[in-house]
Amino acid sequence: MKEFWEERYSEEDFAYGIEPNVFLASCKEHIPKNCKALAIADGEGRNGVWLAEQGCEVTSVDYSQAGVAKSEALAKERNVSVNALCADLTTWSWPEEEFDIVVSIFAHFPPGVREQIHNNIMKTLKPGGKLIMEAYHPRQLEYKTGGPPAAEMMYSVDTLRDDFQTGKILMLEDLDADVSEGKYHFGQGAVTRLILQKQMK
């Protein structure tokens, strides 16, 4: 898969556009000023850069070097600072209780890896910190307008409720939505959205 993403992000255009994910942008009330934010599988950086524009101290992680290079270029163009890292999230040393916000937008992983990543998200959030997530629902296979080609790599409400049992769910829903994010996420889709808060100690 690394070769797939390197090829996709090496294209001249931004594969998923340069504007933030619509759901993420609608969650501004959950993003405190001057917070530390982590954007995982951040691709070409559109969401990490937007978080920086909101005043966050941002770490953006993706395992495509081409994606990270575009993230750095976009941040420079927007006159913001982003700590863009090229790393594999399955082997990355997730810092403990480091971030106020974790953003996961269309970051899909197979079973086994998914649970590992989601456990690490809870580990890296500060007590009281929040996760903002949007992913494709398995029903997305009917639309074929983006996302992985396998249902087991998409997330239902039940999947996320099981993975995040230790957190406080502030919002969890699946719905059909119009997705307009570059040429690879375009058209009607089935998505699952989650806002979760890590319990205070």
Amino acid symbol at 166: T
Look up the pTM and report it: 0.96
Is residue 189 predicted with pLDDT exceeding 90?
yes
- Per-residue pLDDT, averaged over 112-121, amounts to 97
Q: How many domains does the chain have?
A: 1
What's the pLDDT tens digit per position in 22-48?
999 999 999 998 999 999 999 999 999
The burial class, CB within 10 Å (0-12 / 13-18 / 19+), for 88 is exposed
The burial class, CB within 10 Å (0-12 / 13-18 / 19+), for 150 is exposed
Determine which of 14-18, 153-157, 158-162 has the lowest per-residue pLDDT on average. 14-18
Dihedrals phi, psi of 55, to nearest 5 degrees: 100, 10
Calpha distance 140→152 (Å, rounded): 11
What's the pLDDT tens digit per position in 4-16?
888 889 988 998 9
**What CATH number is attached to the domain comprising 96?**
3.40.50.150
Residue-range definition of the domain harbouring residue 128: 2-198
Calpha distance 56→94 (Å, rounded): 19
- Per-residue pLDDT, averaged over 53-78, amounts to 97
**28 alpha-carbon distance from chain centroid:** 15
Calpha distance 104→174 (Å, rounded): 16
- Per-residue pLDDT, averaged over 149-156, amounts to 95
For every residue of 24-70, DSSP letters joined together read: HHTTGGGS-TT-EEEEET-TTSHHHHHHHHTT-EEEEEES-HHHHHH
The reported pLDDT for the residue numbered 179 is 87
The burial class, CB within 10 Å (0-12 / 13-18 / 19+), for 30 is middle
For residue 165, give the 3-state DSSP assignment: coil
